[in-house]
Amino acid sequence: MTDLAERRGVETDVYQPAEDSHLLATVAAEQVGQDDLVLEVGTGSGYVAEHVATESGARVVASDLNPHACRSARERGVETVRADLVSPFRDDAFDAVLFNPPYLPTDESEAWDDWMEVALSGGETGRAVIDPFLRAVGRVLAPDGRVLLLVSSLTGVDEVVDTAATEGFSAAALRDESYPFESLTVLKLLR
């Protein structure tokens, strides 16, 4: 695990795997079956998508807005589409959607002008990307599909659960991990 954290920040254009990536990858590999079609939104380096595909045997497609991230994920052998959230994907397509969103609360008056800042910045509440994702993701889920969403205590887990409920999802916490400055939770969202 330390190796993942030590590499974080070395690459300046692509979010590198860290504790949050490892947590989502581990939980998702346990929740996904080999017959599932999976979408990882905001793939960054492609670590989560690659891990889930390798461990579960599922077909995993990834997306990211960052062209450098798309290239990095493709270098890992991950099918990758440059996209904003779930916009280019067809309705009812995926059995599971995975997302480790940008969640650090940030001052919205600051200019976020590089890809790493975009990968980290969750806006003033930390939910500037999570909320639009929750509004959109239901469209691409298969009828019995599920969402695995990584949430930080910095963004307010209860607030994310409330927003998910507003969008028609029930939420269950699958795993929590605590660190000095935050706790991370993987939520499973079902319709």
Cα distance from N-terminal residue to C-terminal residue, the chain: 33
Q: What is the extent of the structural domain holding 63?
A: 2-190
How many Å apart are CA 59 and CA 37, to the nearest integer?
Answer: 5
Q: Is 14 exposed, middle or buried (0-12, 13-18, 19+ CB in 10 A)?
A: buried
Q: What CATH number has the domain bearing residue 137?
A: 3.40.50.150
* Three-state SS at 136: helix
**152 or 107, which is more confident:** 152
pLDDT tens, residue by residue, 63-78:
998 899 999 999 999 9
Average pLDDT for the chain: 88
Please say whether the beta carbons of 85 and 66 come within 8 A: no
Q: Could you say which DSSP state residue 39 is in?
A: E
Please say whether the beta carbons of 140 and 39 come within 8 A: yes
pLDDT-derived band of residue 115, with 50, 70 and 90 as boundaries? low
Q: Is 83 exposed, middle or buried (0-12, 13-18, 19+ CB in 10 A)?
A: middle
**23 or 104, which is more confident:** 23
CA 35 to centroid of chain Cα atoms: 21
Q: What angle do CA 26, 98, 103 make, to 5 degrees?
A: 95
pLDDT of residue 119: 59
Q: How many domains does the chain have?
A: 1
